[in-house]
Structure 1
């Protein structure tokens, strides 16, 4: 039987202690590895959730390292690694920017690359022709010398928000039935037209149109037919004037058209065209309807130098046209003879609108 010497016993004891120490160290390493594996799995789960959120929001993030001239975009289907050349990364973002917004986009990116930071909106044009709205939000990361070191940011799809804004604007400034500008838009437009006319010393005209026979259409054929007829009238009026002229519906069967920089002779031609186009028969739901326009026209500055007086004079000229047999046009003149109506005058309606 082998009996170790004292020296050998000490060696065995030392080796045993080392083994125990190594075993304990290995256990600690295993615990650390398990913890790292756990943390990595948690990180991968959070990363997967982040990717899902990014994809669901139609959003992607970017970062530009100005010191290393490197960029990365997330998610990027082509590569997860950072690439050289910041301008290449900018091109990846810019390539789908709408041509009409490209100059604006380039100006903004130049600003925040040089240290000026502000979110901005722009449109993108897809290969299939669809247009989307995006919002770019850059965030600066500064170094110890207060210089821009890195620019990170996100690009968010805001198309739904823009669509909602357009709907609200449509409701606020356009007539629900005909989709023509309403009184509020007409008010704003006339203010601008009057300001331009006074500043540039040019004329403009206000044409007021009332439909003869519209009440009979409503009474005999029903309001649905009357509404459909008004929609058709709106289309015919728009096609009868110039592209730059504003056609508005101010209520009921009343319309106002604003003409800038036109002559009296041209207004006569347009008025005759409106009378012919509006006077043609309407075939709606297998029913035939007929209305004619009575047209009153007031000129700036000949018939007034403020909106109230011009609208009032166009209203009076329209009544003179009705008194003269309807289906005709009449320019305002102080000598005009016209019949007074029991309805609320147009000028009173306009004063109410302008006071809001």
Structure 2
């Protein structure tokens, strides 16, 4: 029993020992783990302290540096530079009081955060963010942890941003251009200049939908461009559109815009410039460039554009259009007799009458001078004829200016696209040819172009070239038609008549080339040649012993009004030695259109002794008032009046009246185109003592005049 008891006691003792060992072992293992954790934690804190990128300090309660990590080197300091020194020496003076207050709050046990400025070791100011953390040991505060973060660049960026925003806002608010931001097709920002331009207040524009102020016709353009910018189809877009001001007037904006993020969402920012005045000026300049200043009708440049558009449209639609080319008959006479002021008023009235003859889509153009053109889109020969006829009717109604009644008639040429031409130049040319054909048929009518006119035009061009050659190659000669004294049947003078002796075609009559010479201006050198040649041949006859005769030379209106006519005559007389008494210049009634210039030239001719007669008298438009003022020596009665004498009472009356008037004005008078003895008797009875015509002789070359008249006269 004792053995059993001893055994049990041993087992219990051994168990207690083992338990004690286990407990002691477990306790030892626990202490070992705690030591390891402590060391590990210390290493964590040490790493966090030493390797922290921010500077960390431990201050005592008096604000002296106790410990610092190596991040202080960022400010140029070493740890030794700081130990046992108060922080106050590093703080910007302006911030010291505030920083000290924050430190004392930490000493009292509260965490504080603030910003201040310090000096680094180089004396430069640095901006920092500070966190003060009280250090508790056994619930007592033994110091202060301080963590500082360098925010110098951050503060600078903030300041720069504030400055930039201030500059931007000042720039925007005081900008001379309008600035806007659009989001969801509504205005969310506008500057004062945009308000000024639009006439709205800022609060009235904000929230306004673009459709509320964009001109309706331009709204699709604006909407399309806004969509392009939102979808990144385009970067910055520039375009023009019209807007409606608050007062409902229309202004034109030039807009620049691009996509931005505004309040976290897509938006459009841009600028607008009011270009209304510029556009108006451009429109005015364009209008002036494309419209006639006097009548405000389109000019030839706009006509070219519109006609080319009609050509394109007509080709696409396979249709016709008509071009009417119109010239006012004898308009120059109105300008010359009544002045350009009246002439301008006539043109304005003609333009207004033309407008009543066409549709709104038709285009009337003042092509130049007294020429007008009318473009009739989608028009064939029938309507062209109707419009041309209506124009003739309207324009032929009398015009009254300054108590004068004027009659202005048109000659109209018509060309049809594409039959008469497929280009602007060809249509104008052919309509112009048709217009001249209308003039040749007596004016006040219209004619369509045909190929025969083209041939005639080419013939006239060829004629002009050949006329120039004829002048250079001396192909012209003078024929002379004797002028007879009816009382004694003696020749006393001769009219010099120019003839063209073509080397291949023979004699070409004046009617075939004089009109072309007049139109091209070649009549002037031809007239100079005729004056020199007549003087030369007349002097030659006198030198040959023939009795002196008067030679008359026809002068065109163009030659009469050239500035050096008197000089040309004086030179011809001087070079040939002919006495001025034996030269007579025949002028037409058209010189009375500029009576003041005419009088001056006639007085100069009278001064040098040259005689002057009015040819074809009675067929022109000369005023008797002007006639009495002109220094004229002789009137030549046109052959159209003589032709019916003495059988037609009206012709007799006209001839008798002209003769009486000439005598009363102390002028001589000569009848042209005398062909019968009865006419000679009638003229003698009326007191007309001079005549020429086929009854006496046709125009003769020099040799025949000498043989048939001058020699016989000498023999008598």
Taking structure 1 as the reference length, the TM-score comes to 0.71
Distance 1:285 1:133 in 2: 46
Distance 1:103 1:167 in 2: 27
1:294 to 2:411 alignment: yes
User: 1:240 is paired with a residue of what secondary structure?
Assistant: coil
- Specify every segment of 5 or more residues in structure 1 that has no aligned partner in the other structure, as ranges: 1-9, 30-39, 345-356
Q: CA deviation at 1:228?
A: 2.3
Q: Show the counterpart of 2:359.
A: 242
1:22 to 2:100 alignment: no
Distance 1:300 1:46 in 2: 63
Q: CA deviation at 1:267?
A: 1.6
Q: Show the counterpart of 1:223.
A: 340
8 Å contact from structure 2 (residues 257, 268) kept in 1: yes
Q: Which has the higher contact order (CA 8 A, sep 6+)?
A: 1
Taking structure 2 as the reference length, the TM-score comes to 0.38
Distance 1:45 1:247 in 2: 58
Q: Show the counterpart of 1:350.
A: none
The 5 A counterparts of 1:338-349 are: 342-343=518-519
Q: CA deviation at 1:335?
A: 4.7
Q: CA deviation at 1:223?
A: 0.8
CA gap of 1:139–1:292, structure 2 versus 1, over 3 A, is same
User: 2:379 is paired with a residue of what secondary structure?
Assistant: coil
Distance 1:231 1:70 in 2: 51
8 Å contact from structure 1 (residues 210, 294) kept in 2: yes
Distance 2:377 2:396 in 1: 25
Distance 1:165 1:148 in 2: 40
Q: Show the counterpart of 2:249.
A: 130
CA gap of 1:272–1:44, structure 2 versus 1, over 3 A, is same
Q: Show the counterpart of 2:181.
A: 63
Q: Show the counterpart of 2:302.
A: 185
**Whose Rg is larger?**
2
Q: Show the counterpart of 2:293.
A: 176
> Which of 134, 156, 163 in structure 1 is aligned with 2:280?
163
Q: Can you list the C-alpha shifts for 1:44-68, whole angstroms capped at 9, x where unaligned?
A: 99967864544xxxx42112468xx
Q: Can you list the C-alpha shifts for 1:158-210, whole angstroms capped at 9, x where unaligned?
A: 10111121122123222222222222222222223223333332112111100
Q: Can you list the C-alpha shifts for 1:197-249, whole angstroms capped at 9, x where unaligned?
A: 33332112111100012111111111122122222222222231111112112
CA gap of 1:51–1:290, structure 2 versus 1, over 3 A, is farther
Distance 1:103 1:215 in 2: 53
> RMSD over aligned Cα, in angstroms?
4.2
Q: Show the counterpart of 2:321.
A: 204
Q: Show the counterpart of 2:79.
A: none
Q: CA deviation at 1:304?
A: 3.3
8 Å contact from structure 1 (residues 132, 157) kept in 2: yes
After superposing the two structures, state which structure 1 stretch, 332-341 or 166-175, moved more. 332-341
Distance 2:381 2:421 in 1: 15
User: 2:203 is paired with a residue of what secondary structure?
Assistant: coil
Distance 2:245 2:345 in 1: 36
CA gap of 1:225–1:78, structure 2 versus 1, over 3 A, is same
1:74 to 2:191 alignment: yes
8 Å contact from structure 1 (residues 213, 290) kept in 2: no
User: 2:444 is paired with a residue of what secondary structure?
Assistant: coil
Distance 2:188 2:304 in 1: 50
Number of residue-to-residue matches in the alignment: 308
Distance 2:223 2:408 in 1: 54
Distance 1:141 1:44 in 2: 19
CA gap of 1:286–1:142, structure 2 versus 1, over 3 A, is farther
8 Å contact from structure 1 (residues 140, 148) kept in 2: no
Distance 2:187 2:363 in 1: 52
Distance 1:290 1:128 in 2: 50
Q: Show the counterpart of 1:330.
A: 447
